[in-house]
Amino acid sequence: MVRVTTGARLHFGFGNLSLSHERLYGALGAALAEPRVVVDAERAEAPTVTLDVEGGVRDREALADDLCAYAERACELLDVSGAAVTLRETLPRHAGLGSGTQLALATLAGVARAHDRAPAARERAPELGRGGRSGVGVATFERGGFVLDAGHPTARFTTDRPDVGSWEVPAVAARHPVPDDWRFLVITPDAPPGRNGEAEDASMRAAVERAEPGIADRVAGVVTRRVLPAVAEGRAEAFGAAVAEVGRLNGAWYADEQGGVYRPPVGDLVATLDDDPAVFGAGQSSWGPAVFGVTDASRAEAAAAAGEAALDAAGVDGTVRIVRGRNRGARIEGE
């Protein structure tokens, strides 16, 4: 029996969506210790899957379909007969926390180790339909930490998503460990899932076709002069303010697609968090509805209270977590 454990990731935004610049996308994000994906796998004569997840899981049937598809594809890529795959813990689907990539790669790694094969997650991720735009999910599965990826050459990767397997996962341009005393406030409101699949592709195409190139220049300045120095020097307050600004700038690209700089009800949550001194910066992770805030260990309790207050003010239910960053890749245990 092999067990693979990996955590969620936050996606702070992209460096560029305009076709006027040399490189497209270029994502930044960070690995989280929680919530987690936990997958067990063992050799079998054919691919089989089981959900053994405690508590209520939204879209359970769709989750089972995803797991089955990833297990079958992993067996094909590895050229093995099969594996019995059991999902023990999972991330909320399409909430902005990287559920698809982490589930796909955890399944691949479990099947591979069960058959004494190397997962080669980065090389095989495109064949699983992952890593086509953002490389953050693959990079955090590999090593954790804060990651900035290099994006794609614009001339080769334009508005149309290429066929599955025909791209390479963006290289890691910069990686830093998340400081031990940093904490992330993660709010998952009870709201419709974020964009995914064909709807996400259509929204991204529309955003790229309309993207104002000047915003990318502003994002680049924030990333190089504020985000990277703050994480390298361990300054949580400066980092929080900087990634929040990256999110706001990205929101200008997406406003027509999601109904504003943030999708509902994220805007209301962020507005409340912005007024709380325990939260250094807040924003939307990917397409949401997950909301992040940056804080530190000394303010963690106050930040959690701020998260609950934000949900109350917005009139929505949801889950509030205070979590650490994760500075290692997925844990693979067993023979």
- As a three-state string, the secondary structure of 256-321 is HHHCCCCCCCHHHHHHHHHCCCCCCEEEECCCCCCEEEEEEHHHHHHHHHHHHHHHHHHCCCEEEE
Domain covering 180-323 in this structure, CATH number: 3.30.70.890
What was the pLDDT predicted at 180?
98
pLDDT band at 156 (very low <50, low <70, confident <90, very high): low
Least confident of 19-33, 46-60, 66-80, 262-276: 46-60
- CA 84 to CA 40: how far, in whole Å? 8
Average pLDDT of the residues in 109-131: 96
- CA 158 to CA 173: how far, in whole Å? 20
Res. 47: pLDDT tops 80? yes
Tell me the DSSP string of 198-214: HHHHHHHHHHHHH--HH
Provide the 8-state DSSP code for 325.
B
Q: Of 30, 23, 2, 22, which Cα lies nearest the Cα of 247?
A: 30
**Domain 2-175 falls in which CATH fold?**
Ribosomal Protein S5; domain 2 (3.30.230)
SS3 102: helix
Quote the tokens at residue 109: 């790694």
Chain-centroid distance of CA 145 in Å reads: 12
The b-or-e profile of 161-173 (16+ CB within 10 A means b, else e) is beeeeebebbebb
Which amino acid, 285? S
Residue ranges of the chain assigned to CATH 3.30.70.890: 180-323
pLDDT band at 225 (very low <50, low <70, confident <90, very high): very high
- What φ, ψ does residue 55 adopt, rounded to 5°? 80, 175
Average pLDDT of the residues in 226-245: 98
Sign of CA dihedral 87, 147, 16, 162: negative
Residue with tokens 């460990």: 177
Which amino acid, 203? S
Residue ranges of the chain assigned to CATH 3.30.230.10: 2-175
SS3 23: strand
pLDDT band at 116 (very low <50, low <70, confident <90, very high): very high
Residues whose CB falls within 8 Å of the CB of residue 259, separated by 6 or more in sequence, listed in order = none
Of the segments 48-57, 98-107, 189-198, which one has the largest average pLDDT value?
A: 98-107
What was the pLDDT predicted at 15?
98
Gyration radius of the chain over CA positions: 19
Q: What is the mean pLDDT of the chain?
A: 94
Res. 125: pLDDT tops 60? yes
pLDDT digits (tens, 9 = 90+) for 287-327: 999 999 999 999 999 999 999 999 999 999 999 999 999 99
pLDDT band at 108 (very low <50, low <70, confident <90, very high): very high
Residues whose CB falls within 8 Å of the CB of residue 258, separated by 6 or more in sequence, listed in order = 195, 203, 251, 287, 288
Is 0.75 surpassed by the pTM of this model? yes
